[in-house]
Amino acid sequence: MSTVKLTVNGKSVSATVEDRTLLVHLLRENLNLTGTHVGCDTSQCGACIVHIDGKAVKSCTTLVGQIDGANVTTIEGIAKGDQLHPMQAAFRDNHGLQCGYCTPGMIMSAIDIVNRHASDLDEETVRQELEGNICRCTGYHNIVKSVLDAAGRMKVAQAAE
Amino acid sequence: MGVEGIGARVARKEDKRFITGRGRYVDDVKIVGLTHAHFIRSPHAHAKVKGIDASAAKDMPGVVDVLTAQQLVDDKIGNLICGWAVSSKDGSPMKMGAWPAMAPDTVRFVGQAVAVVIAETKNQAKDAAEAVVVEYEELPAVSSMTAALASGAPQLHPEAPGNVVYDWSIGDEKLTKDAFSKAANIVSLDLTNNRLVPNAMEPRAAVAEYDEAEEHFTLHTTSQNPHVARLVLSAFYNVAQEHKLRVIAPDVGGGFGSKIFIYPEEMVALWASKKVRRPVKWTGDRTEAFLTDAHGRDHISHAEMAFDTNNKILGLRVKTHANFGAYMSLFSSSVPTYLYATLLSGQYNIPTIYAEVMGVYTNTTPVDAYRGAGRPEASYLVERLMETSARQLKVDPAELRRINFVTQFPHQTPVIMAYDIGDFGASLDAALKAIDYAGFPARKAKAKAAGKLRGLGFSCYIEACGIAPSKAVGSLGAGVGLWESAEVRVNPVGTIEVLTGSHSHGQGHETTFAQLVAGRLGISVDQVQIVHGDTDKVQFGMGTYGSRSAAVGMSAIFKAMEKVEAKAKKIAAHLLEASEGDIVIENGEFKVTGTDKAIALPMVALAAYTAHNLPDGMEPGLKEGAFYDPTNFTFPAGAYICEVEIDPGTGKVDIVDFVAVDDFGRLINPMIVEGQVHGGLAQGIGQALLEGAVYDDNGQPVTASFMDYAMPRADDVPSFRVSHTTTLCPGNPLGVKGCGEAGAIGSSPAVINAITDALGHNRIEMPATPGRVWEALQLQQAAE
Ligand code: FES
Ligand code: FES
C-alpha cells in the first residue's frame, strides 16, 4: 500500500491504495469520476485518456504510485461551469460522437493534439495523432472534423484570454 | 414543420452528458454491498471437465463464494436458446447441442466459462480465480469448417452428426439448372467472408441485484433489447419471473448486433445475486469480449452466374458454408439463411436463384448477427460476382449492372423478398458523377507514372431492413414477433414523454424521435423527452437491430401521436367551441382554421388533466399507446464506388476516394444519417483491409486483443463523400427505410473490387493486408 497526493480537476486528493492500483481505477472506483472509460486491456484504445500535468496519458497504464504530486485533469474537469471546453462544443456541433464511450478519451487526446500543433494542424496530422484512440461508431470522419473545428475555436479562445 | 422537425440537422440532445463525462454506462452503476464476479474460463478449445477444486480460492481474502456449472444444473437453470428454427432441405429440424451458461462436463471453445468467483473487489475475484484448479482432459478440436466436415473429424455435439447443424436451401434447383444449361456465359467465383469481432468499445457488463423481501431482481445490462432479455431470462432460463425482473439497459457503448443476445455472463450474474444474497457486478475485459462476444460473418462460398448473349443474367447458383462456432447463439440460425440468401438477388433482375447453405459447428466462439447480419455476406458475393463478370464479359462494370437493374416496382425476387420501391440507376448515376468516372483512366495513368497501381471498384448493394413483419418472420421460423411499441404521454404542463421499445446505443434516438414529435406539434425538441431502456418504464419492445428503429420504432410513435392529436383536437374544439374538423396544429397551438381563435398545447393538456371541462363522456388524461407491425421489409439501397492506390513495393492499399450514394427514403436528421453511414463504411473497410479473427488448428484464438486484431484507426480510413437519392418507402407512414447497416453492407465489395481492378486479377481475399496484396502482386508478375 502507498499513499499519494494528487490534484484532480483542481481539488487535492489523498489516497492510500494498493501498489497495483491503476489511475483509471482510482478515478472510477474511489473518486466516482466515471467519465474516464476502460475499453481494452492492452493500452490500445485510448478510452481512458486523461491529462497528467497537461499531457494526454493513458490512465489504464499508469500506476497511481507513479504520479505522486501530479496534476490530473479528467473529462469532468475541462468545462468552466456551464461553459463547455471548445473541444467538447466542437464534438457536439460536428456530431463527433455516437455511443459516447470513446468520447472522453478522444476529447482529452484531441485537446493535447491541438496544444502540440499550434499552427500546422491538418487532416493528415489529426488522423496520425489519433492512432492511439479507437472509435467503433463514427468511422472517425466527424471526429477529425471536430478536432479541426476545435483547433480554430481554441485559438480564438486563447487570443481572447 | 418546425425548424427542429423531420429533415433538420438538429444537434443531439444526448450529447451533453457524453461530452462532459456524465454518461451512465453499466460499469458506472454502484450499489451498496456490491460484489464482483470473475469467470474461470477454459484455456482449451475442446475438453472434458474432470473436476473443479475451489477450496483454496474460497479461503482467499474477500472471496464471497465460488459457483460452479454443476450448481447451475442443480438449480435447474435453463440452457441458452436459439430463437429461430430453420429446417434442412429434407425437412428435418436443425440439429443443436445444449449450451449451458457454464459448462458442467465439456467445454467446446476457448473462453467458455466453467465457474465464477464472487468477491468483495474485482482484484480479489481475479486473484482467487488463479487459485481455482480445473482439471481438463483435452479432446481433439476442429477450428475450421473444412476440418469439421472432414470424415472422421472430432464431433462437437452428439445431436449434430458430422458437425452439421442444417443443410438448407432456397429457390428452385431445377429451374436454375435449366437456366444454366441455356447460358451463353457462366462466371464463377470462390469467396471467403472473413470472421469478424464486433468490438463495441464498451465491453459487456451486468449489475444484478436481488431483493429478498420482494423476491425481485434488477439487472443493469449492456443490451440492445432489454425487454427481449427479460423475456428470455424468465421464460427460458428460469432465473427470474418476468414480473419480478426489471431489466435496465442504460447508456450502452455501441452494440452492432453483439449486444442483442442474452449471454451466459449476464444470466449467471443474475442467478449469483440470489445465491450470494448480494448485488453482483461483472464487467468484461477486452480479452473476454474477443473470446465470448458473438462473432460475425465467416462464410465460404462458391457462386456461379449465368448470362445470355446480351449479358442479361439468367440465373444464380450459390453454395455456402456458414461457421456457427461451438453453439447456436440466439439468432444465429437466421443469419446465413433468411437474412442472407433472401438478398442474393441484389439490385438485379435474376429469373431464378438456387442457394444451399450448410451450417457447421466448430470449436470456436459462437457466431451470430454483426452489423448487417447476412446482408453484407450477400452483397459481397453478388457484387464481387458482378465485377468479375463484367471483366470476363468485357463489359463496363457500371453498364453490366445497369442493364440488369430492377426498374419496375414492386419486384418479386425468386428468393422471398418483394422490393417495394427504389431507383438503382439514380444512385449509380450520382455515384459515377461524384467519383468522376470519366476521369479515372487519366488518374490511373498518372498513378502508374508515379509507380502506383490504381483501381476502381463498384458496389450496388441492397438490403432488407425494418425488421420485420411478424407474421412473415413467424412463418419462416422466428420465435418472436418483430413489431415495436410506443407510448406518448403529454404531461399536464404540455411537455411530452415518449416511451419506446427501441433502444439507443449511439443512434441518437433521443434526438430523432423527439424531432418527429416536435415537428408534428410545432414545438421545440427540448419539450420532448425520450424514455427507453427500462422494462419498468416501457411496457414492451423488441429493441434495436436490423436498422429497424426508424422504420418500425418511429412508426409506432407516429401511430401513438395520431391518437394523441385526435384526442387533443377534440378537447381544443370543445374549449374553443369550434368543430373538431376545423382544428389544425401549428407552432404548438391548436387553431381554428380561418380564424384567429387558438389555444396553446399546455392549456389543452391542462384541461385534459383537470377534467373540469371536457367533452361529454371523454376520459381524462392525454396519453396514448400504439403497437406497429410493419407490412413489409424496407429496402435501403445504394451505389458505392471506391478508388484505391496500391504501393507495389509494400502491398499497402490506400483508399484515395470513397463515394457513397444511399437511398434511405426520408431522412429524419441528415447529420445523424451521415454519421451512421461513416461508421458503417469504416467497419466494412475494416473487414476488407484489416480485420479477421484467426484460430490456429487447435482452436486457439490468435487474435484476441487489439494488439493482434487490427481495428480500423483514424489513419486507416479516408474522409468519405456521402450523399443521397430518394424514393420514399411506401410501407410505413414516415417513408423511411433505415440507415444503420448500409455502410457495412455496401463497402467491403467496393474496396475489394477496386483492389482486384488494380491488381488485374481476382486472387485476393479479405482482409487484403499489405502482405496478402504483395503476394497477389508477385502472382501476377510470375504469370507475366
Ligand atoms: S483502456 Fe486505456 S488504452 Fe484502452
Ligand atoms: S462513439 Fe462509440 S466508440 Fe466512438
| pTM beyond 0.90, yes or no | yes
Mutation target to probe the B interface, by most B beta carbons within 10 A, among A140, A143, A145, A149 is: A140
Cβ contact (<8 Å) for A107 and B19? yes
Three-state DSSP class for residue B621: coil
Which one of B201, B224, B672, B683 would you pick to mutate in the ligand 2 pocket, going by the greatest count of ligand atoms within 8 A of its CB?
B201
Task: Compute CA distances B271 → B34, B56, B71, B81, whole Å.
Answer: 15, 23, 10, 17
Fold adopted by B31-139+202-253+259-292: Aldehyde Oxidoreductase; domain 3 (3.90.1170)
HEC string of B326-337? CCCCCCHHHCCC
Ligand 1 binding pocket (C-beta < 6 A) is: A 38-40, 43-48, 58, 60
Q: Mind telling me how many Å the CA of A133 is from chain B's nearest CA?
A: 7
B714 vs A37, A40, A131: nearest CB: A131
With residue A14 as reference, give the H or E element that holds it. strand A11-17
Cβ contact (<8 Å) for B253 and A138? no
Measured in residues, chain A has a length of 161
A141 vs B25, B678, B706: nearest CB: B678
Angle at alpha carbon of residue B483, lines to B481 and B485, rounded to 5°: 130
**From ligand 1's centre to the CA of B289, what distance in Å?**
14
**From ligand 2's centre to the CA of B20, what distance in Å?**
15
**Would B15-20+483-628 and B296-467+632-783 be classified into the same CATH topology?**
yes
CA A37 to ligand 1: nearest atom: 1
Q: Are A9 and A77 in contact (CB under 8 A)?
A: yes
CA A60 to ligand 1: nearest atom: 2
| Domain spans in chain B, listed from the N-terminal domain onward | 15-20+483-628, 31-139+202-253+259-292, 296-467+632-783
β-pairing verdict for B280-283 and B35-41: parallel
Chain B residue with CA closest to A78: the answer is B20
Classify domain B296-467+632-783 at the CATH class level. Answer: alpha beta
How do residues A143-154 score in pLDDT, each as one tens digit? 999 999 999 999
List CB contacts (< 8 A) between A20 and chain B.
123
Phi/psi class of residue B755: alpha, beta or left (left: φ > 0; alpha: ψ in -120 to 50)? alpha
List CB contacts (< 8 A) between A44 and chain B.
705-707
Contacts of B172 by beta carbon, 8 Å cutoff, 6+ apart: B352, B353, B354, B414
Q: Mind telling me how many Å the CA of B587 is from chain A's nearest CA?
A: 25
Chain A residue with CA closest to B676: the answer is A138
Complex-level ipTM beyond the 0.90 threshold: yes
- Domain spanning A2-76: which superfamily? Beta-grasp domain (3.10.20.30)
Whole-number pLDDT of residue B483? 86
DSSP annotation of B5: S
Whole-number pLDDT of residue B25? 98
How big is the A-B interface in CB pairs under 8 Å?
181
Q: Mind telling me how many Å the CA of A102 is from chain B's nearest CA?
A: 7
Task: Compute CA distances A74 → A7, A13, A32, A51, A155, whole Å.
Answer: 11, 14, 12, 6, 21
Q: Are B296 and B369 in contact (CB under 8 A)?
A: yes
**From ligand 1's centre to the CA of B671, what distance in Å?**
29
Cβ contact (<8 Å) for A136 and B679? yes
**From ligand 1's centre to the CA of A12, what distance in Å?**
25
Hey, how many other C-beta atoms are within 10 angstroms of the C-beta on B359? 29
Whole-number pLDDT of residue B1? 42
List CB contacts (< 8 A) between B30 and chain A.
32
Q: Are B447 and B454 in contact (CB under 8 A)?
A: yes
Q: Which residues pair with B49 in a beta bridge?
A: B136
| Domain spans in chain A, listed from the N-terminal domain onward | 2-76, 86-160
Whole-number pLDDT of residue A46? 98
**From ligand 2's centre to the CA of A98, what distance in Å?**
5
List CB contacts (< 8 A) between B671 and chain A.
95
Q: Mind telling me how many Å the CA of A52 is from chain B's nearest CA?
A: 17
A139 vs B25, B507, B717: nearest CB: B717
List CB contacts (< 8 A) between A93 and chain B.
11
**From ligand 1's centre to the CA of B44, what distance in Å?**
27
Name which of B637, B636, B635, B677 is nearest B658 in CA terms: B677
Cβ contact (<8 Å) for B18 and A34? no
Buried b (16+ CB within 10 A) or exposed e, B106-127: bbbbbbbbbbbbbbbbbbbbeb
The x, y and z cell numbers of residue B174, run together, are 431445377
Question: Which string of DSSP letters, residue by residue, matches B150-172?
Answer: STTPPPS-TTSGGGEEEEEEEE-
Whole-number pLDDT of residue B784? 67
Classify domain A86-160 at the CATH class level. Answer: mainly alpha
Cβ contact (<8 Å) for A136 and B256? yes
Query: Which residues in chain B show pLDDT less than 50?
Result: 1-2
Given the C-alpha cell 434516438, which residue does it identify?
B509
Q: Are B116 and B41 in contact (CB under 8 A)?
A: no
Mutation target to probe the A interface, by most A beta carbons within 10 A, among B15, B19, B708 is: B19
- Higher model confidence: residue B471 or residue A105? A105
Q: Mind telling me how many Å the CA of B115 is from chain A's nearest CA?
A: 22
Q: Which residues pair with B662 in a beta bridge?
A: B638, B724
Whole-number pLDDT of residue B472? 85
List CB contacts (< 8 A) between B14 and chain A.
100
Cβ contact (<8 Å) for B12 and A42? no
Q: Are B362 and B163 in contact (CB under 8 A)?
A: yes
Question: CA B32, CA B207: separation in Å to the nearest integer?
Answer: 12
Ligand 2 binding pocket (C-beta < 6 A) is: A 97-103, 135-138; B 201, 253-254, 506
The CATH number fitting domain B15-20+483-628, selected from 3.40.800.20, 3.40.50.150, 3.40.50.1260, 3.30.365.10: 3.30.365.10
Question: CA B96, CA B330: separation in Å to the nearest integer?
Answer: 12
Name which of B624, B474, B464, B477 is nearest B548 in CA terms: B464
Three-state DSSP class for residue A51: strand
| Cα B552 off chain centre by | 15
Taking the CA of B23 as reference, the closest ligand is 2
Cβ contact (<8 Å) for B15 and A91? yes
Q: How confident is the model at residue A158 (pLDDT cuts 50, 70, 90)?
A: confident
Question: CA B628, CA B482: separation in Å to the nearest integer?
Answer: 9
Contacts of B678 by beta carbon, 8 Å cutoff, 6+ apart: A138, A139, A140, A141, A142, B720, B722, B743
CA A46 to ligand 1: nearest atom: 3
CA B200 to ligand 2: nearest atom: 3
Q: Mind telling me how many Å the CA of A5 is from chain B's nearest CA?
A: 23
Taking the CA of A46 as reference, the closest ligand is 1
Whole-number pLDDT of residue B403? 98
Cβ contact (<8 Å) for A101 and B713? no
Query: Which residue's alpha carbon is at the smallest distance from atom 1 of ligand 1?
Result: A38
